[in-house]
Amino acid sequence: MLFVFAVPPVFSSIAEAAYSPDFRKPFDFSLLLSNSNIDLQTGSTPHRVSLDRISIEIFTLIEPRIQFGFTSGSSNLSLDNDPASAGRSFNGYHAGLMMRSTLGRNPQIDFHANYTYQETKNETASQRMTLNWHEWATGVSGKIVFGQQLALSIGWAYHDVNANRRATGDIYQTQNLKLASGPQGRLEIAWSDRSDGRVSLAIQRGSYQQVMFRFSRKFK
């Protein structure tokens, strides 16, 4: 519910930035490289998805405690245990809205929530396949900073994925795929330099396994 109330302010902020850009306002820019192994299922049939993403994220830094942002980038995935898409790779894009909040200084409690839409497809002369993807995620973690440069975060994340795979051509078929339920454990190590730059590695376990490299910089 918190994310639902957060969406209108995010859209308003993005629209305002589009019509009246002001690069004097502080923001946080990140480049992310991620690989995920995700356990989706259709009824009782499991489907393992291997998903690679290259993303950019931009967060506002106007408010120190709660911040809003957006993400966008490219997606590449494969879907196992699906005869219609066997040996095929789906390519496309993803985009979404995000919110994050912090409590305390050191140690610190971090909270995040985001929504991501993803659309990928594979086309040949005789077959067209699309995979549309809606993903909601929330998470909370505790962070400790050592020596003002090295940070360790441990926490949990919860993902909800609802995907539709449609095939037209030689095969006509529609499938709805959902993420196997359950929270995911998450560990992240980050290093900050003295000029507001950061590099981090995050590892997530569970039904939504993920390895993510993040390169970030604050612009004030």
Identify the CATH number of the domain in which residue 100 sits: 2.40.160
* Within a domain: 26: no
Tally the domains of the chain: 1
Please check whether residue 82 lies inside any domain of the structure.
yes
Q: How far apart are CA 180 and CA 164, in angstroms?
A: 15
Tell me whether residue 141 is in a domain. yes
- pLDDT of amino acid 122: 94
142/174 Cα distance (integer angstroms) = 41
Is the separation of the CB atoms in 193 and 148 below 8 Å? Answer: no
In a domain, 25, yes or no: no
Residue closest to 59 by CA, chosen among 189, 196, 217: 217
- pTM of the full structure: 0.84
Long-range contacts of 185-188 (CB under 8 A, 24+ apart): 185/155, 185/156, 186/139, 186/141, 186/153, 186/154, 186/155, 186/156, 186/157, 187/152, 187/153, 187/154, 188/141, 188/151, 188/152, 188/153
Residue 140: inside a domain: yes
The range of the structural domain enclosing residue 203 comes to 2-20+31-219
The pLDDT-based confidence of 15 (bands split at 50, 70, 90) is: very low
Q: Has residue 194 been placed in a domain?
A: yes
| 161 belongs to a structural domain | yes
Q: Virtual CA dihedral for 192, 57, 26, 215, nearest 10 degrees?
A: 20
pLDDT digits (tens, 9 = 90+) for 57-74: 999 998 888 999 999 999
Mean pLDDT of 51-56: 98
Residue 6 pLDDT > 60: no
Predicted confidence (pLDDT) per residue in 101-132, tens digit: 999 988 999 999 999 999 999 998 888 999 99
